[in-house]
Amino acid sequence: MCSNDKGGFVPPDANKLVARCPACKAFNSPKNIKCKKCGADMPKKS
């Protein structure tokens, strides 16, 4: 496999780009602390 981190023309790791709200499943920026749709706390990135 080639990886985006090493310049391969494949998508970046989706986990770095989006995070799903555990409560309402809305897609959020991984930077969000609270869900933009329902306001629930977003899980902290390990």
Partner 1 sequence: MFEDFNMELYRTEARWQEGEYTVTRTSVWTAPGCHNGCGVLLYSKNGKLEKIEGDPNAPFNRGRLCLRCINMIEQVYSNDRLKWPLKRVGEKGDNKWQRITWDEAYDIIEAKYNEIKDNHGVESIATLVGTGRNSMWQPAVITRAIFGSPNLCFGFLSGDSCYQPRMTANLIKLGDCVISDCSQTHPLREKNSEWKKPEVIVVWGNNPLVSNGDGFMGHWIVDMMRLGTKLIVVDPALTWLAAKADIWLRGRPGTDAALALGFLNVIINEDLYDHDFVENWTYGFEDLVERVKEYPPEKVADITWIPKDQIVEAARMYAKAKPAAIQWGLAIDMQMAAMEASGAITDLMALTGNIDVPGGNIIQRYAYNRSKKYGSAIEYIPEEMLLKRIGTYESPIHESGYTPFIPPDKLLECLETGRPYPVQMLWLQGTNPIANMAGEAPRVYAAMKKVPFCVVVDLFMTPSAVAFADLVLPAAMSVERDSFRAWWTPLRSIARGAEQYEQSKSDEEIVLDLGKRIRPDRFDKYKDVNEYLTQLLKEDGGVDYDFDTLVERVNDFWDWDYTYQKHEKGLLRSDGQPGFVTPTGLYEFTSPLFDVWGFDMLPKHIEPVEGPYTTPELMREFPLILTTGNRLWGCFHSEHRQLPTMREIHPDPMMDINPQTAKELGINEGDWVWLENRRGRCKQKARFNIGLDPKVVRGEHGWWFPEKEGAEPTLYGVFDSNINNLTTMGVHGPTHYGAPYKSTVCKVYKVTPENDRVSPTEIVTRMGGFSYAKR
Interface residues with partner 1 (CB under 8 A) are 1-12, 14, 16-18, 20, 27-29
Residue in the block written with tokens 């899980």: 43
Residue among 16 and 41 whose Cβ is closer to partner 1: 16
How many C-beta atoms surround the C-beta of residue 37 within 10 A?
13
CB of 35: closest distance to partner 1 in angstroms?
A: 12
Contact 39, 33 (CB under 8 A): no
CB of 32: closest distance to partner 1 in angstroms?
A: 9
Residue among 30 and 41 whose Cβ is closer to partner 1: 30
Round to whole Å and give the CA distance between 2 and 34. 34
